[in-house]
Amino acid sequence: MIPTKICGITNLSDAQTVAAHGASAIGFIFFEKSSRAISIEDAKFISDHLSNDISKVGVFVNHEKEFIEEAIGFVSLNMIQLHGDETPEFCNQFKVPILKALQIKDEASLSVMRDFNVDGFLLDTFSKDYYGGTGKTFDWSLLNGKQKTPIILSGGLNASNILDAIASVNPSAIDVNSGVELSPGVKDHDKIKTLFKKLDGTYSSVRVFTNT
C-alpha cells in the first residue's frame, strides 16, 4: 500500500484506529491557530501509546527553532513538516527528516522546489487565508512527475477521489486530513476504514516515512 499519513490527530482513539488500518504516519499539528491544534503534552501521551512502527510527524507553521526542537525531543517525533514561510536555510537546521509543505496555485508555485534541500515536499492547495487544511484539491495536472524529491500529495483527498489522485500524480505518499473527519480534529472511523480499503493494492517504491 502507498505510504499514507493521516494528519490532524488529536486523540489516542483516532491514532490507534489509523495505525490498525495500516497508516504509515500520523501528523500532530502544533499550530495554535489550527482547528486541529494539539499541545506537546497531549501529543506525547498519544505517541507514548503507539507502536514504533508508525512514524510521528510534527507539523509547524513559522515556529521558532527552539520550540520545534523541544517538540522533537519531548514527543519523540520521527519527522517534521514545515508548513509556513520557512526559508531553505531554516529547514536545514534540524537532525530529523524534513518535509516542506508548499501551497500550489499554479505552475510557478512549484518553481521554489529547486531552492530546498529537504527529504520530501508535501503539496497542498493554495489559500490566501490558511496555511493548509482547506479540504480542497488543486490542479493535479500541474505536476509532471519529473520531480526528484519525493512528493506527498495532500489537499481535499478522500475515499472518493484518492485512486484518481494517485493515478494522476503518482506521488510517493499521500496525506489525508479532513477527508476522514467527523469534525475538525475528530476522525470518522468508518471513513478511515473505507479509505484504507480503497488503498489496498496501491503501491509506491519510495520509502518516505522513516519507520515504514
Sequence spans of domains, the chain: 4-199
Mean pLDDT of all residues in 105-122: 86
CB 174 within 8 A of CB 162: yes
What are the Cα distances from residue 131, in Å, to 9, 59, 92? 17, 11, 21
Of the residues 7, 14, 91, 175, which is catalytic?
7
The pLDDT score that the predictor gives to residue 139 is 72
7 as an active site residue: the answer is yes
Of the residues 14, 91, 119, 124, which is catalytic?
124
The least confident of 2-11, 15-24, 73-82, 160-169 is 160-169
CA atoms within 13 A on the CB side of 46: 29
Mean pLDDT of all residues in 54-77: 98
Per-residue cell: 118: 529537504
Mean pLDDT of all residues in 28-41: 96
The pLDDT score that the predictor gives to residue 210 is 76
CB 103 within 8 A of CB 125: yes
User: What's the CATH fold of domain 4-199?
Assistant: TIM Barrel (3.20.20)
The pLDDT score that the predictor gives to residue 141 is 73
- Would the pLDDT of 74 be above 80? yes
- Would the pLDDT of 137 be above 80? no
Element of type H or E holding 197: helix 189-199
Please tell me the pTM assigned to this model.
0.92
- Would the pLDDT of 63 be above 70? yes
Mean pLDDT of all residues in 24-40: 97
Distance CA 179, CA 156 (A): 6
CB 209 within 8 A of CB 4: no
Mean pLDDT of all residues in 104-130: 79
The pLDDT score that the predictor gives to residue 13 is 98
139 CB-near residues (< 8 Å, 6+ apart): 104
| Residues of the chain above pLDDT 90, percent | 75
DSSP 55: E
